[in-house]
Amino acid sequence: MDIDKVLKEMQEFLPAQPAVRFTVKPGEPGLFDSKVGGTPYFPKNMEYPRGKANTFDGQPLTMLAQLNFEKLPAIPDFPKKGILQFFIAGNDLYGMSSDYSSGLADQKNFRVIYHENIITDESQLLSADEIPQYDGELDLPFSGTYFLVPAEPEMMAPKAQDFRFGEAFLNVYNKYTDEPCEDFFDLDEEIAEPLFNGDQENNPEALIGGYPVFAQSDPREMDGYDDCDVLLFELDSYHGDGVDICWGDLGTGTFFIPRANLKALDFSRVLYNYDCG
């Protein structure tokens, strides 16, 4: 069977998605740059994000990453301007909820903040010394600050770990086989293994749009999360070239949002998950 033909035809059910990959580079990003870590862009007249649960209740969160869409290539449905930020708690779960069944989209110990209109007068922004700090020891998936350098937009084919992949694949595969398969994970190893191994080999350092990669499984397989159909941001573990990012045991951090919310610039419902091997 021509698996490449199956993969191409299955995009009728699960289309390729526009994406922008980022290269993570060490350095000293400025206040307005797209970056991992560092001093966030933050207006003085806004309430700084704080945790709402456990030891981080009332404690300031740490900025994981910031994206300045005025300096990024445009892709459909994503903002064309403004700054989007991801804040997390520095605890053993990096701010992710331990309640997998219903809490992954509750922004208690993580927060996604969108600044639609960027203030350029730095006197109206918090300086590095004015950013609230957690009064204990932080456990974060990164050390240092890094530039997020975008590549040109691309169309990304579906990846096998996406929770919708199995059904879409079998819709086409079963048309061309004499032995139809009811469960994607019952496929012969020589067919299934290259699909998953290819995902790992092409794992980007960071990404908006497109399709995710997981160290374990897609959390959207659980009831209540399947509306979060867009990969808002992914940041993977990476070591080398002056970069040190590690989610647990070489895992990945992902944020998902419903497409309608993204179009409306409404970031109140975002699923945040990190997993590791």
For 63-97, what is each residue's pLDDT tens digit? 999 999 999 999 999 999 999 999 999 999 999 99
pLDDT band with cut points at 50, 70 and 90 for residue 102: confident
- Average pLDDT on 26-55 reads 97
Q: Taking 80 as the threshold, does the pLDDT of residue 176 lie above it?
A: yes
Maximum average pLDDT range among 96-105, 203-212, 262-271:
262-271
- Average pLDDT on 117-144 reads 96
How many other CB atoms sit within 10 Å of the CB of residue 234? 25
Domain range enclosing 69: 3-275
Per the structure, the count of domains in the chain is: 1
Are 198 and 239 contacting, i.e. CB atoms less than 8 angstroms apart? no
Q: Taking 70 as the threshold, does the pLDDT of residue 202 lie above it?
A: no
Question: What pLDDT shows up at residue 203?
Answer: 56
Q: Taking 60 as the threshold, does the pLDDT of residue 142 lie above it?
A: yes
- Domain CATH for 260: 2.30.320.10
Question: What pLDDT shows up at residue 75?
Answer: 98
- Average pLDDT on 244-257 reads 94
Cα→Cα distances 267→12, 84, 276, Å? 29, 9, 25
Helix residue ranges per DSSP H, the chain? 3-9, 165-173, 189-201, 259-263
